[in-house]
Amino acid sequence: MRGTGRRGEGSPYPTGKERHDERRRRRRHVRHSNTAYGKKPFRRSKSHFTDRITADGGDGWPVEAGRYRLVVSRACPWASRAVVSRRLLGLESAISLAVADPVQDDRSWRFTLDPGDRDPVLGIRYLSEAYEAREKDYAGGISVPAIVDVPSGRLVTNDHQRITLDFATEWAALHRPGAPDLYPERLRAEIDDVMEGVYRDVNNGVYRAGFATEQGEYEDACRDVFRRLGLVSRRLADRRYLVGDTITEADIRLFTTLVRFDAVYHGHFKCNVRKLAEDPVLWAYARDLYQTPGFGDTVDFAHIKHHYYRVHTGINPTGIVPLGPDLSGWLSPHHREELGGRPFGDGTPPEPVPVAERVPAPGPEAAAEQP
């Protein structure tokens, strides 16, 4: 006799819906298994959700203060771009911020830093819930940055390459007074060209090296990283910023990799030809940006180190987080102001970080990092 697909009270057999839910749970487990890192060739997937939030609402998502929530991890360099851009442009009151736990489980980014382990605005435990609200049975990766429509709880976009460019352009009506022009039209071709090389060889290159599964693959990626860093170092030897005489999107994208370099990429990803601190030009450039309001005040080295060393168990199976490096050098004089340049152009620095978004003061671990 054919079953009805329903389970009677007290029956030990799962219903069709329960079997379906279990299959979905298993797919998520496989998709996000942290042990997979370093076990298969690395390929960065393209953003699956590429709708844009624009002034004219062309994709159905108009710029609107208070409607959207930016979900990030302070550990993630791609998400950190959006955090820096939001700070520099003064969009804190226009788009709220959710910060995920830097240590993912097999359902990926989770809100265990918040009371009750739920995001207080979206009411969800995992970012994957917003992805699945957008696309039922979604089986792809769960990435940050992600922008979620608060009223519907649906993901709008996870297009990390586009989000910050739209912050700089489409969100202009909501910028703070004195906000810098991070993507000036007259310099866009040059900015795009610089960013393309930095993305391929540095931003993405450190991951290709770190997750390589063959010696030759690793060596090729590592050489690309340091070849590009050498080119960038020479470019910055006599100019304060990458393009023009003010901070642009190109500087933001390079900074979020450089600030992680000695803390995680040098050791964890084996990009150890030399440290950032051993390149006088790049080290001074990175410190200059770090000490600029909107950059260093968004950086959480504890989140960075705990994410990479505890999540990537495929390449760090013990999960041990190193004590170093010494972080005190980030606040040492850089003398880059002698090259001229105007960090914010004709604008002004951003206001202090909102109290609720301040990076916590370093704890005992940071004290142990000091020699």
| Residues identified as active-site | 76, 207
Long-range contacts formed by 117-126: CB under 8 A, 24+ apart: 119/69, 119/71, 121/69, 121/96, 121/150, 122/69, 122/98, 122/148, 122/150, 122/153, 123/153, 124/153
Q: What's 90's DSSP letter?
A: T
Residue 258 burial (CB count, 10 A):
23
Q: E strands within 4-149?
A: 68-72, 96-99, 146-149
Q: How far is CA 121 from CA 67, 80, 125, 150, 357, in A?
A: 11, 20, 11, 8, 15
Nearest to 289 by CA among 225, 337, 231, 235: 337
End-to-end CA distance of the chain: 75
The CA angle 339-341-347, to the nearest 5 degrees, is 160
Peptide linkage before 145 cis (omega within 30 of 0): yes
CA–centroid distance for 41 within its chain: 21
| Nearest Cα to Cα of residue 45 among 59, 61, 29, 32 | 32
Cα–Cα distance, 50 to 162 (Å, whole number): 8
Q: What DSSP character marks residue 266?
A: T
352 Cβ contact partners less than 8 Å away, ≥ 6 residues apart: 293
d(CA 151, CA 145): 19
Q: What are the CA-CA distances from residue 147 to residues 50, 52, 127, 169, 222 (Å)?
A: 11, 10, 10, 16, 32
